[in-house]
Amino acid sequence: MRLAETVTFGGSGLNRAAEMRGDAAEQARLLARGQVLPIWRGKPLLRAGAGLAWVAPDAPVLHHGGPPVFLGLDDDRPCFATDISDWVPEAGAEAVQSGFLDQSEQRHPSLPPELAFAELRAAMLRLTPREAELAATAKAVLQWHRSHGFCAVCGAASQPAMAGWQRNCPACGAHHFPRTDPVVIMLVTHGNRALLGRSPGWPEGMYSCLAGFVEPGETVEAAVRREVWEEAGVRLGAVRYLSSQPWPFPASLMLGCAAEAVTDAITLDPAELEHALWVSREEMVAVMAGSHAFIKPARKGAIAHFLIQNWLADRLD
């Protein structure tokens, strides 16, 4: 496995067993001996200080949920996920904190107290690669079901099919599939310096690599050049793909690239960036160590942190 594939949420070799999705009888047999990951409003069930918390298919917590989605086989253990977002905690929906990162946790009365629904970004570093892939898959597919309940062709209510990997319209017969949005994120360098920026509304001191959505009819390389020019006014030369990362917030695939700048003057688009600057390799060491005067490191687990860390180590491949 290439180093680039070790990014958080990267592939763990999960057997997704897609050939079993269309067999309803086989799905029933798999569910009967399987395990289910409940997800509440985008938050997976987690065990305190550990990883994902799975429940039995007949667990009371799942009574709030809809049809399970078949994630695949972890070795030989069938894994499913269920959205239980209709459950309202005793404290009410207002228990969820607002802000850049929701640090609140919700506990279901039918579950042990060490189990709680928590923000995946806050817990991703304590998951194994397999758990991370399962959690990212579950969160993304369940969110798609929650936000795409109606046919985009005729507007009728659609129905889940293929073990949760499809929605069918009973009115016009259209088939719909889970959505993934490609996003380029680029480590832009100019000699010994890298370009960092921050968006309006980010926490104080937070900077990261520039990023943006790939537009229809656009290559990855063209998207990298366009986004950097639009956001920072910097022209790029060579662009190369490095690594990808599923990022289910809500449904992106981050395409990590390295790009060489041919100009270094920065002209900000204030609608996209609040600030951008060139950071030398020596400064970046301090940033990543948490000792820089005003720049905080990119979040561990995010592909931006992965790209910068490996740039500093001269091992981007």
Do residue 79 and residue 113 come from a single domain? yes
* Cis peptide leading into residue 246 (ω within 30°): no
Please report whether residue 317 resides in a domain. Answer: no
Do residue 234 and residue 294 come from a single domain? yes
pLDDT tens column, 272-308: 999 999 999 999 999 999 999 999 998 899 999 999 9
Do residue 165 and residue 72 come from a single domain? no
pLDDT tens column, 252-261: 999 999 999 9
Residue 95 pLDDT greater than 70, yes or no: no
Question: What is the CB-side half-sphere exposure of residue 99 using CA atoms within 13 A?
Answer: 11
Residues 217/182, Cβ–Cβ less than 8 Å: no
Please report whether residue 97 resides in a domain. Answer: no
Do residue 142 and residue 171 come from a single domain? no
> Range of 139's domain?
3-88+103-147
Do residue 143 and residue 277 come from a single domain? no
Do residue 235 and residue 291 come from a single domain? yes
Please report whether residue 256 resides in a domain. Answer: yes
Please report whether residue 153 resides in a domain. Answer: yes
What number is the average pLDDT over the span 115-124? 94
Please report, for the domain that includes residue 303, its CATH number.
3.90.79.10
Rounded distance between C-alpha atoms, residue 1 and residue 5, angstroms: 7
Per-residue three-class SS string for the chain: CCHHHHCCCCCCCCECCHHHCCCHHHHHHHHHCCEEEEEECCEEEEECCCCECCECCCCHHHHHCCCCEEEEEECCEEEEEEECCCCCCCCCHHHCCCCCCCCCCECCCCCCCCEEECCHHHHHHHCCHHHHHHHHHHHHHHHHHHHCCECCCCCCECEEEHHHCEEECCCCCCEECCCCEEEEEEEEEECCEEEEEECCCCCCCECECEEEECCCCCCHHHHHHHHHHHHHCCCEEEEEEEEEEEECCCCEEEEEEEEEECCCCCCCCCCCCCEEEEEEHHHHHHHHHCCCCCCECCCCCCHHHHHHHHHHCCCCC
Residue 130 pLDDT greater than 60, yes or no: yes
Chain Cα centroid distance, residue 105: 19
Rounded distance between C-alpha atoms, residue 109 and residue 111, angstroms: 6
Do residue 139 and residue 163 come from a single domain? no
Do residue 185 and residue 55 come from a single domain? no
Please report whether residue 93 resides in a domain. Answer: no
Residues with Cβ < 8 Å from 59, sequence gap 6 or more? Answer: 36, 38, 110, 111
Residues with Cβ < 8 Å from 222, sequence gap 6 or more? Answer: none
β-sheet bridge partners, residue 261: 236
Please report, for the domain that includes residue 124, its CATH number.
3.90.79
Q: Which amino acid is at 191?
A: G
Total number of domains in the chain = 3
Residue 2 pLDDT greater than 90, yes or no: no
Percentage of the chain with pLDDT > 70? Answer: 96
Rounded distance between C-alpha atoms, residue 27 and residue 163, angstroms: 7
Do residue 130 and residue 18 come from a single domain? yes
pLDDT tens column, 163-199: 999 999 999 999 999 999 999 999 999 999 999 999 9
Do residue 116 and residue 217 come from a single domain? no
Do residue 231 and residue 291 come from a single domain? yes
Residues 160/145, Cβ–Cβ less than 8 Å: yes
Please report whether residue 270 resides in a domain. Answer: yes
Do residue 115 and residue 185 come from a single domain? no
Quick one: pLDDT at residue 91? 56
Q: What is the mean pLDDT of the chain?
A: 93
Residue 128, token pair as written in the block: 């194994």
Please report whether residue 271 resides in a domain. Answer: yes
The CA radius of gyration of the chain, in Å to the nearest whole number, is 21
Rounded distance between C-alpha atoms, residue 155 and residue 147, angstroms: 13
Please report whether residue 94 resides in a domain. Answer: no
